[in-house]
Amino acid sequence: MPDKLALPPEDFSRLAQLGVDFVAEYYGSLAYQPVFVPSTAEAIRKLVEEPLPQSGAAFPELLGVIRDVVSRYNRHSAHPRCFGYICSPGAPITAISHMIAAALNINLTCWRSAPSGTEIEHVAVNWLKEMLGYPADAAGLLVSGGSMANFAALAAARSAKAPGNAVRDGMSAGPRMCAYVSEEGHFSIAKAAGMLGMGEQSVRQIKTDGKLRIDLADLESRVQQDRAAGHLPFCVVANAGTTATGAFDPLGDLADFARRHNLWLHVDAAYGGFAALAPAARHLFACIAEADSVALDPHKWLYGPMGCGCVLYKDPETARAAFSHDAEYTRRIGLVRDEAFAFWDYGPELSRPFRALDLWLLIKYVGAAALAEAVESNIACAKHLEKLVENSDDFEMLATVELSIFCFRYRPRGFKGDLDALNEQTLVRLQRDGSSYVSNARIRGQFALRGCVLNYRTTMDDMQTLLDDVRRVCLV
């Protein structure tokens, strides 16, 4: 067996130390390097494209490519002023757990394949339920992210509310099943409906109120219209922090509505769910226990590494009805009760990586109190930005800061031109400049500079720096 494939322990230790030194240097340099270095696809491709290597290269040489290409031309989500999209910085401790998980290479299909890994995942999911205030007898599993969590939840909802066996017979017969989500809801809801055979048009976009929350009157009207047309309303999706603005739908009102209309209540808390840890936002989750399912993303506001989402089911049997499947090669022989548990009975995946090790080690090492403090600080930074904008005479907020997302625009004194065009140009210049990075949104038809504070390294001073950077790069 080639030594490079087997890699004797002493050689692994030597290479691993080089890797650790690289990671430590990276963490140490974050505040002093640009958030983003502009380039082109062609330029980067020229740096890495080559024919299939037939022989191995020296590891220090490969580390050089990682440093000079992969790291240099990456958008650094760990930078304290990377506010674009919803990008977690990750946590240094999980860089270590990722390495250990890769070494163990556990396939978490079921208890039989991964006894300890399965129990670790159960424990980690239980901790997430406790953070959220979700019922202790609920169940869940880790998935790749919020989109897959929403897909799994809608699959369980469809199975629970369909007039027949939708898993066995499909959706060709029977009434159109309709789901409801606000205009601010994530596109993965419609995508999931399309993949589940209900069609993206079965997802009704409901109007929002002045705070961009779902409009209950419009929701009532749309459900009544669909029933009158012979359709079958089956699910309403509540946003616990929308992607564009962080708007938070009224969970208690929606729980009452769902109960009254016999609808499945799903809460998309992929971004905002772990705000439940923060005293400033805890009250928003008072009725979360009434949801039939919840989507979470530990790889967002719990600072986990990418690829770790979670779906929770209030009644686990609804998920079994949607996903349980048997084949001879998966039959668990000689195992009963807990030892017969299989993750594939509750979600779409068979092969599953050991996502729970990162989550378990992060929570155990850092502790829930420190995580809560970091989330609270992120919310405070976003609200500080809001105050800075409101106290300025050349910026304006376009949406109220609910959690840690802020949407604003530059409005220079005396400017009479197209504000949308000005801010689009400013966005591009700001991203290429590299000191601060924001993304974009459209709020009630107006172009917004949009940011999300999701980094325990971010401080109040970074919020002022962002505004100073916008002023500096704008050429008005």
Q: pLDDT grade, residue 2 (50/70/90)?
A: low
Chain segment 290-309, per-residue pLDDT in tens? 999 999 999 999 999 999 99
> What is the DSSP-derived secondary structure letter of residue 69?
I
List the domain boundaries for the chain.
Answer: 101-366, 369-473
- Give dist(CA 343, CA 346) in Å, integer: 6
Burial of 343 (0-12, 13-18, 19+ CB in 10 A): buried
pLDDT average, residue stretch 373-383: 98
Helix H or strand E segment including 207: none
pLDDT average, residue stretch 315-323: 95
Tell me whether strands 232-239 and 203-206 are parallel, antiparallel or unpaired: unpaired
pLDDT average, residue stretch 432-451: 97
What CATH number labels 101-366? 3.40.640.10
pTM (2 decimals)? 0.96
Q: pLDDT grade, residue 325 (50/70/90)?
A: confident
Chain segment 197-212, per-residue pLDDT in tens? 999 999 999 999 999 9
The per-residue b/e assignment along 406-445, b for 16 or more CB within 10 angstroms, e otherwise, is bbbbbbbeeeeeebeebbebbbeebbebbbbbbbbbebee
Model confidence at 338: pLDDT above 60 = yes
| Same fold for the pair 101-366 and 369-473 | no
What CATH number labels 369-473? 3.90.1150.170
Q: Which long-range contacts (CB under 8 A, 24 or more apart) does 213-217 make?
A: 213/182, 213/239, 213/247, 213/248, 213/249, 213/250, 214/181, 214/182, 214/238, 214/239, 214/249, 214/250, 214/254, 215/182, 216/250, 216/253, 216/254, 216/257
pLDDT score recorded for residue 169: 80
Within 10 angstroms of residue 459's Cβ, the number of other Cβ atoms is 14
Which two tokens mark 132? 């959220």
Measured in degrees and rounded to the nearest 5, phi and psi for residue 240 equal -105, 65
pLDDT average, residue stretch 138-152: 97
Q: Is 337 left (phi over 0), alpha (psi -120 to 50) or beta?
A: left
Q: pLDDT grade, residue 326 (50/70/90)?
A: confident
Chain segment 386-434, per-residue pLDDT in tens? 999 999 999 999 999 999 999 999 999 999 999 999 999 999 999 999 9
| Mean pLDDT of the chain, nearest integer | 95
Model confidence at 3: pLDDT above 80 = no
- CA geometry: angle 183, 185, 186, nearest 5 deg: 130
pLDDT average, residue stretch 366-386: 98
Measured in degrees and rounded to the nearest 5, phi and psi for residue 396 equal -145, 145
